[in-house]
Structure 1
């Protein structure tokens, strides 16, 4: 399978715009779809997406449009860069426009609330394509750092190894190093769960706890994430890699992480509504996915105590302080 030449990125948020920049820097013909015409016009005229990536200049080869049909026309690859809980609705509208053999790439990290499906499963169902046509990009991908050209690595996962390799070549730049993987289950479960653990880490910071607490949450969070992934058929080694430990550390430790920052506000005593207002109306992915991941774990009989208390803080009124005490008071047992 030859390297893709024309790529559409649907979604002009911070990560969608950043990944479009990566693809353009890698030498591809890239069209970025923005929901609002004024955003597309500003990108074309000023080479900036000031609402999401202020100060970052976008390549001349990257074009923007608010016309989804024009964006995906004759595309070899269509990148879906919309939030996990709105992916189904958006994709249903785009489905008639998609080229028949285009590789469909998910940037979203979550588990769908209504169906408990991973994003690749939602894409295959709604687009009516085989799973081998769907790929996932995941890893320690803090958008602002990548947009600034800081070195990072990522994982390109697809059941079709040749498609994964083609996409790997399409997004390789001097600052962005992709590795391939065929374990979509592991890659996607890791990406969804790390947002929930990052909320817990943020709450710990808001409560005034330090690095020992953070390290403990990350380690035990990775353990419960791995348990769920393995129960769903994932390779346990995936969770030691970039999409597992790599993404977990970046999302839990960085103040650039929306989930970590949102959790910190909750830990300081803000309500969910107050934290959302402070985040300019944006709810972190983990706030919604903690509920679907908790349900998925219950369905499989997997114990996920951190995910459980995050859900209860976000949706059942449990306060972060008692939540921490509850975790520390659990039955003692071997690691």
Structure 2
């Protein structure tokens, strides 16, 4: 069995720590919050993030990064995207090169627009072989209850991907491997934008037809940008693409859906964020993705309209009207181009 450090004790980090503990690994969680550390060690709970859940005695917590990293054989990074660099910089003095780093965060660094694996590699001066990405349709609230869940781990190093697979896989948490780090990472990040849109659509009472169209065209946007950035098209049809998209756009557990729903009902963004009380990754991801798409000259109409709603005070209903009123086009430009001669006969 291994000693695994889980860095940042939010809902997802805690749920994954529970999977590891169930697999009989020794788990130490790091949090800067001394009260949270005491709660986890004394009461074996994390009420703020996973209320009503009893944690395994195999899970201990510490506010000391040095203690968390001591003799660890794998590191799971569950920091919010905007804080990833700061957290990794705290970890850096105690990190032993060669230890696999598994990150489970879905988003971009706000200023640099880097993917999380790029931030980790940059801060720890790693080769990309050392970083593993874990993603897929997996709400912490269901994982902690041992509901059947399937995820994917991606790494440029097959050995590290399989190490991560071995750490987590069990009878209710199935883990696949994938060599496409970029695709897995982008699928997990970009679907949060579409989940905001799905919530917004539901908040406007636009019904199932609208949401089905939003998910479908949203996946087209994800794949369009993702393939331009180096991801494989098949990855976006997998667990970190369409799988994560479906669960995040349709579940009561989804923070992004809930935030979008409140915005669709007319609540201002500041009020929504205050009400949520936890990070809503899709909001920062929308801003970052809008910039990335602009830089790469990639058309992303759903992302553009959501950016205008979130950051330019555009009315949600007007954004939907503008989406529906766009000029006529083909569903799939690539298919049309490859079949244009036959179609014109």
TM-score of Structure 1 vs Structure 2, range by shorter chain:
over 0.9
Residue 243 (str. 1) matches residue 245 (str. 2): no
Post-superposition CA distance 1:273-326 (Å, at most 9, x none): 11112112x341111111111111122221111111111111111111001101
Q: 1:140, 1:242 within 8 Å by CA — same for their partners in 2?
A: yes
Normalized against structure 1, the TM-score is what? Answer: 0.97
| 3-state SS of paired residue (1:314) | helix
Which of 272, 297, 303 is the equivalent residue of 1:301? 297
Which residue is equivalent to 1:55?
Answer: 52
DSSP-derived class of the 2:169 partner: coil
* Cα drift, residue 110 of structure 1: 0.5
C-alpha distance in 2 between matches for 1:318 and 1:113: 22
Residue 308 of structure 2: aligned partner: 312
1:289 equivalent in alignment to 2:308: no
What is the Cα deviation at residue 49 of structure 1?
0.7
Q: Which has the higher contact order (CA 8 A, sep 6+)?
A: 1
Q: CA deviation at 1:159?
A: 0.7
Task: Please tell me whether the aligned partners of residues 80 and 279 of structure 2 are also in contact (alpha carbons under 8 angstroms).
Answer: no
Match of 1:200 in 2: 197
Tell me which residue corresponds to 1:175. Answer: 172
1:223-270 deviation per Cα after TM superposition (whole angstroms, max 9, x unaligned): 000001110111100000000000000101111100000000000000
Which residue is 1:226 aligned to? 223
Structure 2: runs of 5 or more not aligned:
332-345
SS of 2:27's equivalent? strand
Distance (whole Å) between structure 2 residues aligned to residue 165 and residue 104 of structure 1: 13
Mapped to 2, the partners of 1:17 and 1:35 lie a distance apart of 15
State TM-score, norm by structure 2: 0.94
- Structure 1 segments unaligned to the other structure (5+ residues): none
Q: How far did residue 174 of structure 1 move?
A: 1.4
Identify the residue that residue 4 of structure 2 maps to in structure 1: 7
Matched, 1:100 2:71: no
2: CA distance between counterparts of 1:174 and 1:38? 33
* Aligned positions of 1:120-135 closer than 5 A: 120-135=117-132
Please say if residues 265 and 275 of structure 1, whose CA atoms lie closer than 8 Å, have aligned partners that are also in contact: yes
**2: CA distance, partners of 1:326 / 1:239:** 26
Q: Which residue of 2 aligns with 1:88?
A: 85
CA deviations 1:108-151 (Å, max 9, x no partner) are 10011211110000000001111100011100011101111100
Whether the 8 Å CA contact 1:73–1:99 is kept in 2: the answer is no
> 266, 270, 277: which one pairs with 2:274?
277
Q: CA separation in 2, counterparts of 1:221 and 1:303? A: 12
- Secondary structure at 2:183 match in 1: helix
Q: Does 1:35 align with 2:32?
A: yes
Report the equivalent of 2:17.
Answer: 20
Q: What is aligned with 2:342? A: none
Aligned equivalents of 1:38 and 1:119: distance in 2? 28
Name the counterpart of 1:191.
Answer: 188
Of residues 245-254 and 56-65 in structure 1, the stretch that sits farther from structure 2 once superposed is: 56-65
- Paired with 2:178 and 2:52, the residues of 1 have a C-alpha distance of 33
Pairwise CA RMSD: 1.0
In structure 1, the partner of 2:335 is none
2:127 counterpart of 1:119: no
Could you say which structure has the larger radius of gyration? Answer: 2
Runs of 4+ in 1 over 3 A off after TM superposition: none
Contact map agreement 2:102 2:164 (CA 8 A) in 1: no
Find the aligned partners of 2:255 and 2:23 in 1 and give their Cα distance: 27
Q: How many Å separate the matches in 1 of 2:326 and 2:72?
A: 52
Query: Aligned partners of 2:14 and 2:105: how far apart in 1?
Result: 13
- Show the 5 A alignment for 1:65-84: 65-84=62-81
